Structure 1
């Protein structure tokens, strides 16, 4: 049964992309764990620390622009529920598999990417899933958005009351 999410979400962006904090273009161009190439996705976290872990998974902490959103997302697939995953032929171990990039290179699409395509075709707007970033705990979660905009049922508003991002060079 789909969930609804209402609350704050966070992303830690490479400063090069800070002018487009609502874009899923990078994920669309390169593919991600939960989106094949050609499919936009916006990877957000439920906590600031999870967002930082997600953005800096390799090596040392690099310059990062932290943004937050106010979100109200309907039709969220609960990646914590085995029965929800099983409906798409997926399980927790497959979600966590670190081989998704290798699968994508070898087959054109990783199993988790095919799962994302199936979930969006079934009308899901997002996936609530545990973070697999180094140092993440069982309490660190991400919300992977496949559909978002400024209105329901997938409302995502950037919090930038002082218009700081618009003043970037």
Structure 2
């Protein structure tokens, strides 16, 4: 179980577009484009609990594109666990809503995206992020992501693992 009473402490991984490699804590790519769990304009870090899931998440459309894999040390709370069906039910959401493959088309068409509304409510309720299963092609039940909306301040520590300053040289 990766969460302990709503707290995640351990490694996280992101596969970044090289454009954002020099700012691995910005969340601006997600803010510009929007995502399953963040509306446009809302910064977010889409992380994974393992490197393979991070690579799958970053390259869901077409062929594998150039990618920079980044590792973080995290100690963040509170994190909402979407695997808890009873907790999801309190937000009038189901696992099927989370897995909706049409979320991107809705967003591009300007229609409401239930998972973005859900994220908005979680942010308002003080959650730093959420733990969810990966919906990327090839993901398994053990492929997990943590989407963060807050990664600094009270209850949030997220450090880039870059002892040799490799990202600073990009």
Q: TM-score range by the shorter chain?
A: over 0.9
Contact 1:72–1:152 at 8 Å: present in 2 too?
no
Match status 1:59 vs 2:53: no
Question: Using the alignment, how far apart are the partners of 1:83 and 1:74 within structure 2?
Answer: 20
1:93 to partner: Cα distance: 0.4
**Runs of at least 5 residues in structure 2 that lack an aligned partner in the other structure:** none
Number of residue pairs aligned between Structure 1 and Structure 2? 167
Match of residue 147, structure 1, among 136, 145, 150: 150
Who is 1:164 aligned against? 166
1:14-29 aligned at under 5 Å gives the runs 14-29=17-32
1:36-55 aligned at under 5 Å gives the runs 36-55=39-58
Who is 1:119 aligned against? 122
Question: Using the alignment, how far apart are the partners of 1:43 and 1:2 within structure 2?
Answer: 21
Who is 2:112 aligned against? 109
Match of residue 136, structure 2, among 123, 133, 136: 133
Which portions of structure 1, spanning 4 or more consecutive aligned residues, are displaced by more than 6 angstroms? Answer: none
Question: Using the alignment, how far apart are the partners of 1:146 and 1:106 within structure 2?
Answer: 24
1:152 to partner: Cα distance: 4.1
1:62 to partner: Cα distance: 1.5
1:101 to partner: Cα distance: 1.5
TM-score, scaled to structure 1: 0.94
Question: Using the alignment, how far apart are the partners of 2:154 and 2:140 within structure 1?
Answer: 31
SS at match of 2:80: strand
